[in-house]
Chains A and B, each alone.
Chain A
Amino acid sequence: MCPMELLQGTLDLLILRTLELRPLHGVGIADRIEQVTGGVFTVGAGSLFPALHRLSDKGWIAGEWSELESGRRAKFYALTKPGRLQLAREKKSWAKAQTAVNQVLAEES
């Protein structure tokens, strides 16, 4: 199966979910999503960074500079309080949408 590009809304949701556990930097987030989805979704820099900036502008995540093990500086993003609320909302609506879509697909077959 070829890796799939993510839709914007879904990517946002996955990033929020990924950061729910602990703060991560860009490479870490991309790795984590690829790893958790078993390589189904890859996140390129061209969609990752715009998404991070969009989310931090909405106030859902906040970035802070910190050092990697290699000693290199990187920006670590963490979920904010409004971000947590937003994630909860999105989880709910995702579940709803998923149920609805599944129903439609089940009907067809």
Chain B
Amino acid sequence: MSRFDRILRPRRAEAELDEEVRSYYEVQVERAMARGLTREQAERAVRLSSGGSEQVKQLSREARMGAFLESIWRDVRFAARLLAKSPGFTFFAVLTIALALGANAAIFSLVDGVLLKSASYPEPERIVQLWEKNPRGGRNGIAPANYLDWVRQSKSFEAMAAFSFGSMSYSGGGEVRSLRSGHVSAPYFDVFGVKPALGRTFTRDEDQLGKGKVVILTHRVWTASFGSDPGIVGREIRLDGMPHTVIGVLPGSSEFDRRSNDIWVPLVFPAQVPRDYHTYGAMARLARGVSREQAQTEMSSIAEEIARQYPAAKKGWSAIVDNYMDRVNGPQIRLQLKVLMWAVAAVLLIGCVNLANLLMARGTLRSREMALRLALGAGPARIARMLLIESLLIASLGASAGLLLGYGLLRWIQQLMPPFFLPAEAHVAIDYRVLAFLAAAAVATSLAFGLMPALQASRGVAADALREGGRGSSAGKGKLLARHAFVSVQVAAAFMLLVGAGLLIRSFANVLNVDTGFSSEGLVAGYLPIVQDGDPDADRLRQYIDRAVGEIRSLPGVTGAAVASAIPLRGWGDGMPMWLPEKPDETRFTGFKIATPDYLRVLGLKVVEGRLLDETDKAGSPLVTVVNESFVRLYYPNQSVVGKRILVERILPTRRGLGPKSAWEIVGVVADEKGRGLESPNDIGAYASFAQNPVVGLGLVVRGQGEPGALIKSVQQALWRVNKDQVFDNPMAVEQWKEQSMVGRRMTVSLLAGFAVLALLLACAGIYGVLSFVTARRAQEMGIRAAMGATPGDLIRLVLTAGAIPVVLGLAVGLSGSIGLGTTIESLLFQTKAADPMTLGSVAAIFLLVAMAACLVPALRAARADPMTALRQD
């Protein structure tokens, strides 16, 4: 019974041991009885002299286990000695595995952290996000009046909470600065099931009018700005100039520490709330035993009842209930991560194929050694085990180095990402899960590249090798075919990776070349949160903004300054319903940006028709608007729009609702401004004058000379001269924002391109290795050919053709595969076709060139074939 049998069939091994020992005792007992003892006496005598049979069996088992471990250890040492003897091979093999497993470890920790690991919320599947469903069927923000009806009427939820994110100024301990605030209904933390680390969360009545001057700190802010003061609960801090009592601190290193919000305050609705101004989000926790579908049914009927009651505002509207965890990650990031995971898997596959090839080649070179071992009585299983241990050793060394590489790669990726780039629920780290993955991957890898060579070496080879002097011929044919198939597989995989990377690189170049409609040189922008106590008065708001903008404009080096309800690349302000006077029943939609007249001039948007907004568009004068080219293309194709009117509701200065529907006269058309980021598919928009519709919720845009950081600083100081509590929130050079908005794309492209190049290099190493090996084995044949009069050119052609066949086959497979791949990743492409002929063509060309270069070295070696070698070998 071999050791493998014993491991595979422990019960049989145990039975054999039992019988063996029993038979020994029986013989001893019979002998004693032959000396005249009774059976009982004999048994006792034997027990005394030989010890109990159970003890003997246990000792035997231990001896066996010890011997097993010892022999494994012997094999490991032997493998290590062998590897040390061929440092070139070992270095290449370990490097290949290290690169491939390092990439896998880094990408796995991303995938695991973002997609696989579950959030720490209790029963996260019960958390849902609620939306209004607009008449176009899309997910829409929620108007507070509807939200309040939902809270009152729904029975599907244990807790429901509205939220909006903003900022509050905080001046404790130095200059005033803004803290990112979450404004949430009291049950918000019950929805997530979050328990505070200190103090408490909101009580159910703390979001009622007249209350709400309390604040919960995140652990992050508590540590950074309050020195982790354990007595913080109960202290008062000034936010937006008003005293707030700290009631709690959230737990550290949790989802709430990875959210951008620094502080949380109750969302207090005023007595009168709008039904048609949709500015809030809402979360809820499903009541026990209620499914999302049941909640959806209930919410739809509630929303439809609201639509019946208020047809003017809500006709055609409904509600949507989403499983929250399903929507934490958008389809884009899922697809990006999936593509990266497949890419590193492909790199690993190519690496494994290389090593399998190398080991098989080594196996052939070592076949005499193996034959000797077989002849000396080492069983085939023993030889296979020895070779597998060698593979496992390579894979383990590679995995250890790969862990370091993976850690480095992950750190690099994390440094690339701006803060809060990943959702708060993502928790990316090299942890025990990654280590377990790496260990499993190492074992799988060693089997993938080691099993076939090991089986091959332990089988048949022995007889073969002794007979043929390590040159194998007929049996070698199958192996050669396998090697060529390996090359094809490598080429196909590497080619697809290169095409994927190529498509994304083209898309990235297209994004880089997007015309934003304005020059971002010297342009800085940030938000201008305005503290409102009571209702801000329209006149006072106008005067305040005039003074602030005037102060900034007088700064040296500043060429222009303006405020707007949204700043460049960071949104379109409000998305407003709109009607044409000639079709009053058809609701249309447009981006609606309220701005001081200089906004269009500061950006330098090109005037296509009519005029820009200017100082004559004052509070009392007729309402005017400037629309953009996309607006005209959609609503007035091939018409002159100057002089036409559109109907849009005014926004109340407080932003707490909408005023009456008003007619705005179009006075001009400008070129598109990329409002919703570089990749926004449409930018239909209209601009209104701030003087004619003053609102809070503004951004500030300044163009000036000099370094953006210095400009931002002097703008902040100018604002403080006007109002010492005024914050310039989240200011950034527009160029920097542009860079940041491309980070996700840049990251995917760089990683994928890196992996693709690695795959190409590995595949070339594979092509080179196989062709060198094949050519070396054909040295004698080449010699004969040379002797028969073949020129070096003939020989080169011969080798190149032999090398090219599997490469071209692989390319053909890769080409059809990459068209499929292109379609799969279509949503990641930007202005690039899935089957982009230029990408496919250039990648194929690069590939052929590099592959031929890899073939050339062995070909040249073959060309130098000396006719004498034909005679000399053997």
Contact = CB atoms under 8 A, between A and B. Distances in A.
Contact of A26 (B16, B20, B64, B378): B20
Interface string A39-69: 0000011110111111001110001000010
A44 B446 CA distance: 44
Contacts of B376: 81-82, 85
B67 A57 contact: yes
B3 interface: yes
- Secondary structure dominating the interface of B: helix
Nearest to A42: B49
A49 B23 contact: no
Interface in A64-109: 68, 70, 72-75, 80-82, 85
A34 to B, nearest CB: 12
B20 A46 contact: no
B51 interface: yes
A49 B59 contact: yes
Contacts of B59: 46-47, 49-50
Contact of B23 (A53, A58, A73, A85): A73
B55 interface: yes
A59 B379 contact: yes
Nearest to B24: A26
A17 B55 CA distance: 26
Interface in B202-226: none
A27 B56 contact: no
B contact residues, range? 35 or more
A54 B64 contact: yes
B431 interface: no
A44 B59 CA distance: 12
Contacts of A49: 20-21, 24, 56-57, 59-60, 63
Given A50-B60, A81-B376, A85-B376, A45 B24 contact: yes
B326 interface: no
A43 to B, nearest CB: 10
B332 interface: no
Interface string B27-43: 11010000000000000
A73 B15 CA distance: 13
A49 B28 CA distance: 15
Contacts of B16: 75
B51 A53 contact: no
Contact of B56 (A45, A70, A72, A73): A45
A59 B60 contact: no
Contact of A59 (B21, B30, B53, B378): B378
Contacts of B71: 57-58
Contacts of A72: 23, 26-27
A54 B377 contact: no
Contacts of B51: 44-46
B20 A57 contact: no
A54 B376 CA distance: 20
A80 B377 contact: yes
B19 interface: yes
B68 interface: yes
A51 B379 CA distance: 21
A75 B378 contact: no
A59 B27 contact: no
B126 to A, nearest CB: 56
Contacts of A45: 21, 24-25, 50-51, 53, 56
Nearest to B64: A53
A58 B372 CA distance: 18
Contacts of B24: 25-27, 45, 49, 74
Interface string B78-103: 00000000000000000000000000
B20 A50 contact: no
B21 A57 contact: no
Contacts of B836: none
A27 B63 contact: no
Contact of B27 (A46, A51, A53, A74): A74
Residue from A44, A54, A63, A68 whose CB has the most chain B CB atoms within 10 Å: A54
A52 B64 CA distance: 9
A51 B20 contact: no
B376 to A, nearest CB: 6
A26 B66 CA distance: 21
Contacts of A51: 63
B864 interface: no
B62 interface: yes
Contacts of A68: 27
B63 A82 contact: no
A85 B1 CA distance: 21
A98 B383 CA distance: 35
Given A27-B28, A44-B51, A45-B50, A74 B64 contact: no
A24 to B, nearest CB: 12
A74 B20 contact: yes
Contacts of B53: 45
A75 B199 CA distance: 75
Contacts of B62: 50
A62 to B, nearest CB: 9
Contacts of A74: 20, 23-24, 27
What are the 10 tightest A-B residue pairs by CB atom distance, in nearest-first order? Answer: A81-B377, A50-B63, A57-B67, A45-B50, A49-B60, A54-B63, A53-B64, A50-B59, A82-B377, A54-B67
12 contacts: A27-B24, A27-B28, A44-B51, A45-B24, A49-B63, A52-B60, A53-B60, A53-B63, A53-B64, A63-B20, A73-B19, A74-B23
Given A45-B21, A59-B379, 6 more contacts: A25-B24, A26-B20, A26-B23, A49-B24, A59-B378, A75-B23
